A and B are shown apart, each in its own frame.
Chain A
Amino acid sequence: MIAKRLATALLVMFFASFLSFSLLYLAPGSVADAVLREQLGFEPTEDEVVAFITKYNLDQPFIVQYYIWLKLFVTGKLICPQTGESVVDEFLYRFPVTLSLAFSAVLFASCLGIPFGVISAIKKDSVIDNVCRVVASIGVSIPSFWLALLLILFFCVRLKILPAFGFGFKNMILPTIALGFHLFASITRVTRGSMLEVLNEQYILVSRAKGLPERLIIIRHALKNAIIPVVTLIGLQLGHLLGGTVIIESIFSLPGIGKFLMDSIFARDYIAVSGFVMFIAFLFVIVNLIVDVVYMILDSRVRVD
Chain B
Amino acid sequence: MKKVMKIAVLILTALLLLGCTGKEEVKVTPTPGAEATTTGIEQVLKVGAVKDFKKATEGRSLVFETLVDVDRQGNPVPLLAESWDASDDGLVYTIRLRDGIKFHDGTPFDAKAAKFALEWSMNNGAPYGKYVDGVDVVDDHTIKVRFKEYYYPFLIDLASEFRSKIVSPTAVNPAWDTGGKLEKFIGTGPFKLVEYVKDQYAVLERNDDYWGTKPKLEKVIWKTIPDPHALVMALKTGDVDIIGAPEHHSAVPYEEVPKLQAEKDIKVTWQSYGRFQVIRFNCFVEPLDDIRVRKAINYVVDRETMVKELFAGIAEPANLPMCPWFKYGPAGIKGYEYDPEKAKALLEEAGWIDTDGNGIREKDGKELAIDLLIPQGEANADAVAVYLQSELKKVGIKLNIISMESSAAWAKKKEGEYMMFVHHSGCIPWAPQGVLWQEHYTKAGQFKHYHSDELDTLIEKVYSTTDDTKRDEYYQQIWRILNDEAAQLPLYDIVKVVAYRDCVKGYEHSPTMYKMNLMNVEIVEQ
Contact = CB atoms under 8 A, between A and B. Distances in A.
Interface residues on chain A, size class:
35 or more
A156 B55 CA distance: 28
B501 to A, nearest CB: 14
A166 B26 contact: yes
B227 A160 contact: no
A46 B445 contact: yes
A156 B125 contact: no
A33 interface: yes
Nearest to B127: A45
Interface string B4-21: 001000010010011101
Contacts of A268: 407
Contacts of A42: 426-427, 430, 434
A82 B23 CA distance: 25
A48 B411 contact: no
Interface residues of B, number: 59
A305 interface: no
Given A93-B198, A253-B226, A168 B25 contact: yes
Contacts of B3: 224, 297
A165 B230 contact: yes
B130 interface: yes
A30 B55 contact: no
Contact of B162 (A39, A93, A172): A39
Specify the main secondary structure of chain A where it touches its partner.
helix
Contact of B224 (A29, A100, A160, A253): A253
Contacts of B129: 47
B225 interface: yes
Contact of B201 (A160, A166, A224): A166
Contacts of B29: none
A48 B125 CA distance: 5
Contact of B408 (A29, A52, A84, A160): A29
A167 B407 contact: no
B407 A34 contact: yes
A65 interface: no
A172 B287 CA distance: 55
Contact of B410 (A29, A41, A103): A29
Interface in A193-252: 224, 250-252
26 contacts: A28-B408, A29-B407, A33-B410, A39-B57, A40-B57, A40-B430, A41-B162, A41-B430, A41-B513, A43-B430, A47-B125, A99-B17, A100-B17, A100-B18, A100-B21, A103-B18, A104-B14, A157-B237, A169-B18, A250-B226, A250-B227, A252-B230, A253-B230, A255-B224, A259-B226, A268-B407
Given A28-B411, A166-B25, 7 more contacts: A42-B434, A97-B21, A100-B21, A103-B17, A104-B14, A149-B230, A169-B18
Interface of A: 27-30, 33-34, 37-43, 45-48, 51-52, 83-84, 93-94, 96-97, 99-100, 103-104, 107, 149, 152-153, 156-157, 160, 163-172, 224, 250-253, 255, 259, 266-268, 297
